[in-house]
Structures are given as C-alpha cells and as structure tokens.
Amino acid sequence: MNLTNKVVIVSGGVQGIGEQFVLGLTNAGARVVIADIANGQPLADRINQASGQTAQQAIYVPCDIADNSSCQQMAKTAFETFGSIDGLIANAAVFSGLAMQSSLDIPLAEWHKVMAVNVTGVWQTIKAVVPYMDNGGSIINITSNRIFIGVPKMLHYDVSKGAVNAMTKSLAREFGDSNIRVNAIAPGLTMTDKVKQRHGIQERSQATVKTKALKREQQPDDLVGAALFLISDSSRQITGQTLVVDGGTVMR
C-alpha cells in the first residue's frame, strides 16, 4: 500500500495499536503526526533516523483529546509542519485501566472520564482536523467488536464505543460533500502490552479464541492492513462503514 506524501494524524499513537498504526503508515510512505499525552518524541526520532530523509517523516505533538484547545493546537501544528492533513486515525481512548465491574458499581467520575475521552475526545479531534482537509481526506474511528456482542462488565466503555460507531455514520453523511470519508475499525480483544497486564487476561483470551473462526490471539499489527486500506485511495468509495477485525467472532 503506497501512501507516499499523505499526512496522517494518529491519536494515541505512542504505544499498543496506535504505535503499530504509526509504524505501518510510515513504512507505507506516509508522513505521520503522533498525537498523545504520553511522550512520542522517541518514536518520532526512531522513525526519522530510520527513514534516512532530510525532511521529517514523523513528528510528535502533545495532545490531550479531552481538551478542545489541545486538539486545536495539535491540528494547527500538524498543518503548519506538513502543509496538509489527509487522514486521521482517532485511536486514543481509555480502556486498559478500566476494571471489569457491574454497571451498578461504576463510579460516576469514572463514567464521565470515559465519555470525556472516548466520545467527546474523538469528536473534538475530528472537529479540529476537518477544517484542514481542504482536498478531502479519510477519518478512521477506532471502536470495538464488543458493541456487536453485548459483553457485560464494562458498560461505560461499550457505551462510548457504541457512540463512536453512531458518530462515524452521521459524520460520513455530513462530510461526504467535502470528499471526506469517515469509517471505523472495530477490533476484537487485541494483546497489547497493557492488555496483557490485565487481571485474568489469559483466561479471557483463551475463551475469546474459542469464539473465533481464526483461532489465535489477535496482535496489534493485525489491525494495520485495514487502516492502511481505509486511509488509501483504494477505498475512495467506502464511507460510513465499520470494519470488524477480530478473527471472525463477529460476522455481519
């Protein structure tokens, strides 16, 4: 997949799935903005050193997607650095630190935090980036296959990802006249380093594998191909869709 000269922002791009998106995009020739509250400068430096180019292929911009002004500054910096914005992967979200618990026991403050990042944060990121997509573009929202299954014990997370799925369809209609495509990727359980640290994850992972057509654990780089396709011009007639990438647990 050739994405040479496309400029793509990846929120939450420092680690896990986000890091794999960044590496996949740069390997395909894209110029990438790593937007994260965690320090992405070492990752950007590693990419730029490996590229052997005089121009930067990757930059890190600190961004808290729950803060509207932070999103606005991030998009402005991306545009001023590269001169255009062609794509956005809205990947940043609260997940790994959430405990599985009854919906009756979720603290109200935790509910609000999840919504502030996973829903409002995605909207604020998109709102900041779209004005710079003068020549059209591609937005990918990261949701979850959980919203199609009905999995208990993480209601706030599932509600937030269901909202992102609805947001994807509404924005695809709204931005279509501007040649901006909006799609979503819904991963299954993906074994990032942080997910591997969750209590009881090995038992959950083994149970999940049994539900899949492709019976192996999903790794972060399993999601890269879908993202590259949706960013690329090869998917220029695809918008408003949610692509489930989970090894065949959900078949729609």
Instruction: Give residue-wise pLDDT tens across range 88-134.
Output: 999 999 998 899 999 999 999 999 999 999 999 999 999 999 999 99
Host H or E run for residue 90: strand 87-90
Flag residues of the chain having pLDDT under 50.
Answer: none
- What is the SS3 assignment for 89? strand
Tell me the C-alpha distance between 75 and 70, whole Å: 9
Examine the residue annotation and report whether 157 is marked as an active-site residue of this protein: yes
- What is the SS3 assignment for 147? helix
In 146-182, which positions are buried (b, 16+ CB within 10 angstroms) versus exposed (e)? bbbeeeeebbbbbbbbbbbbebbbebbeebeeeebbb
Count other C-beta atoms under 10 Å from residue 252's C-beta: 8
What pLDDT, on the 0 to 100 scale, is given for residue 176? 98
Closest C-alpha to 13, from 51, 53, 61, 46 = 61
Task: Please compute, for residue 162, the number of CA atoms within 13 A of its CA located in the half-sphere on the CB side.
Answer: 12
Out of 157, 180, 220, 222, the active site residue is 157
Query: How much is the pTM?
Result: 0.97
What pLDDT, on the 0 to 100 scale, is given for residue 54? 82
Tell me the C-alpha distance between 24 and 187, whole Å: 17
